[in-house]
Structure 1
């Protein structure tokens, strides 16, 4: 099948490459000529493991192409995915749908039909209805259906998630849209036995937001349990393990940390809350999770400051800046709030991240960026683990002890066990761990 994808951001590029890999003829369209030119040279606009190879192989096979002009690109297509951004609208937090609606207008004008326009972008409930109205206005008489097909791709594991999905959700109102989308995803449903859920369009739009909001609530919940564990002398990792064995709860997203960030959870929870308010169906639990997560990030900086004792003039080495490993995405990363709060307290910040430093430089003024974890630690008063990149899971702790001006490590991901740190001579501050009381570190007090 010949498929068009408008938008070559994270969702559009990954989806296009994966659909081409399943044998479809895919053209990805973007108005950013520089981005398209770079992709043509094999330079990906995002860091996603394996994406460059997947794109290159399908371009070479003639199944994947790129264009900046929508008119010739949509010749003879049966389906066009809208995969443009839906950022939070400035001022009110609603999802900005201007790019979605602009794409819908262009597609409807150029698409010959019969076919289907599919929203792959994360959009509030009712967006498909407005796209349907746009199609009727721009292309009266054309047989063009409108459907919703939300994505569930995790940054850093997007290709695996697309090819081995937990589910495929198709939201449509007619047989044409269902038939085309079923044919598009036939390779996945046959080869991997991925369940296909066909719903009404509004249900599909809600499923995406409801799923992300639930995971955000789960993260906020375990972070608050971590705070309680610290207060009462519990261990949040053991608590999480104990409740995670319950199949009604599950173990995923029960890792205490510095709060969620990224391109999805912050904007999607906010957009869902705005939609709920519009319909006077208030989501108190989601609202509380959003507030708790915002407070969480600055609280992590206070934890570091508390461990330092005297903060002003001290130097801290941050390991990891992106909101999660295996991505270069800095959007709403906890590191942004942590760095700002540390700098407000007079702390000098050094940082190292395997992939995110190019983006971080523009967002973190005053930070000294280093070429390795060990360079960052050299002479610092504390080592702070913020993002759980694989290369930070097996640090040479003995070497770190020698490099640091004071043997203090604040582990905001609970990667290291207290006994590992003690053997290396490091004082370890974790999350949701028993408080063993203050100890002297280099003449200042810190929590061991």
Structure 2
């Protein structure tokens, strides 16, 4: 099929390359000329394992990019993969989505054939049908359900494994307002389903599909926070939380995934999505106490890490190595990284901070140009008074001898990745 994707950010570029991989002809539409040129040159505009290879293979053949919205007229379906950033009160900002819908609708005004527009961005329930669809209808002059189909296909991509998540999904959710739109969506995802071994396909309404994404992320965020809450209790009792969590994860009703306790969750999805569904719930008169509690536990985890550090060294004047700046391993994304509140607090306390991350240093430097940065973890530890392990990059598990170069070998581990041994003062958060 011929598919167009409006937006060439993290989600847009990933799904474009993956749709090309399963055999579709795909065009990315983006207003950023530099991103368009990057894709057409066969380079991925973001850091994501496996994405470069797909873009190299398909650019100039089944994958191309353009700034011209008119390209959507030659396609059967368009996916809107535009940012929905958080506002201060947790609500999502729809201005970029609305602008994209206006431009898309105007382009579709000159198309005679039936076309399906699918929301790929994460939006709160009813947004597609009550906000996006009316804009598309007004700008295009098309009759919804007759000339123009509306759908919603939530993404469940994890940064660092987005390509494999898309190509080997746990489930595919297809939300549509009509049988005709649903049939088009089936056609889009049929090659992927065949390749992936026929994963479960959930066909549902548009608002239900929107809610499934929030329910999915809300549950996972709450599961992590509950694991952290239980691990914090274990810490107070001197109990090995890892053994406890591994044991309860063997229960098929609980499962082992997302039970790893640590300094908390971050990134572009969990914080934004949980805040958005909390705000949306309050708009309709419901107080989501469980989700609010998950946020509160998550916000406390960096504070607990700093309290452990203060139990061994006064940050004022101390050189503190912060190992891990990305919100998780496998990505250069620092959005809502747990390193952010930690560095803020250390700087406020008068610490001399030196940061290190295998791939996220430059992104972090843009936000914190005045702290020091090291080119290796070993260099960050050299002559440091203490070290905070914030992101569980695998290389941090192999720093044994590097800790001996510290001025005082105090290691406060927020991810329980460092091996405790004699010769270092080791404190695990959980």
Shorter-chain TM-score: which interval? over 0.9
1:244-255 correspondence runs (5 A)? 244-255=249-260
Alignment match, 1:134? 135
Alignment match, 1:357? 361
Distance 1:330 1:399, change over 3 A: closer
Q: Give the Å deviation of 1:266.
A: 0.6
Picking from 286, 302, 315, the partner of 1:311 is 315
Alignment match, 2:424? 426
For the 8 Å contact 1:301–1:339, the answer to whether it is kept is no
1:429 alignment partner, SS class: strand
Deviating more after overlay: 135-144 vs 409-418: 135-144
For the 8 Å contact 2:224–2:260, the answer to whether it is kept is yes
Picking from 100, 104, 125, the partner of 2:101 is 104
Picking from 293, 300, 304, the partner of 2:298 is 293
Picking from 173, 178, 184, the partner of 1:180 is 184
Distance 2:402 2:289 in 1: 48
Deviation per CA, 1:281-322: give whole Å up to 9, x if none: 2211001111221222233222222232x3211111111100
Alignment match, 1:63? 62
For the 8 Å contact 1:236–1:431, the answer to whether it is kept is no
2:342 alignment partner, SS class: helix
1:171 alignment partner, SS class: strand
Q: Give the Å deviation of 1:42.
A: 4.0
Within the alignment, does 1:271 sit opposite 2:276 as a pair?
yes
Q: Give the Å deviation of 1:43.
A: 4.1
Distance 2:291 2:220 in 1: 10
Within the alignment, does 1:281 sit opposite 2:280 as a pair?
no
Distance 2:312 2:39 in 1: 45
Within the alignment, does 1:399 sit opposite 2:397 as a pair?
no
1:417 alignment partner, SS class: coil
Q: What's the C-alpha RMSD, in Å, of the aligned pairs?
A: 1.3
For the 8 Å contact 1:132–1:145, the answer to whether it is kept is no
1:65 alignment partner, SS class: strand
Q: Give the Å deviation of 1:75.
A: 2.7
Q: Give the Å deviation of 1:95.
A: 0.6
Alignment match, 2:4? 4
1:194 alignment partner, SS class: coil
Deviation per CA, 1:141-166: give whole Å up to 9, x if none: 45111100000000000000000000
Distance 1:83 1:135 in 2: 15
For the 8 Å contact 1:170–1:204, the answer to whether it is kept is yes
2:84 alignment partner, SS class: coil
For the 8 Å contact 1:6–1:83, the answer to whether it is kept is yes
For the 8 Å contact 1:123–1:205, the answer to whether it is kept is yes
Deviation per CA, 1:26-58: give whole Å up to 9, x if none: 000110112222333344332101211110101
1:19-418 correspondence runs (5 A)? 19-60=19-60, 62-71=61-70, 73-89=71-87, 91-111=88-108, 112=111, 113-129=113-129, 130-142=131-143, 143-191=147-195, 192-308=197-313, 310-395=314-399, 397-401=400-404, 403-418=405-420
2:411 alignment partner, SS class: strand
Alignment match, 1:437? none
Distance 1:55 1:40 in 2: 9
Distance 1:296 1:416 in 2: 18
Distance 1:42 1:317, change over 3 A: farther
Any unmatched runs of 5+ in structure 1? 433-448
Distance 2:326 2:307 in 1: 20
Q: Give the Å deviation of 1:175.
A: 1.2
Any unmatched runs of 5+ in structure 2? none
**How many residues of Structure 1 are paired with residues of Structure 2 in the alignment?**
422
Distance 1:135 1:380 in 2: 57
TM-score, normalisation: structure 1 = 0.92
Provide runs of 4+ in structure 1 moved above 4 Å: none
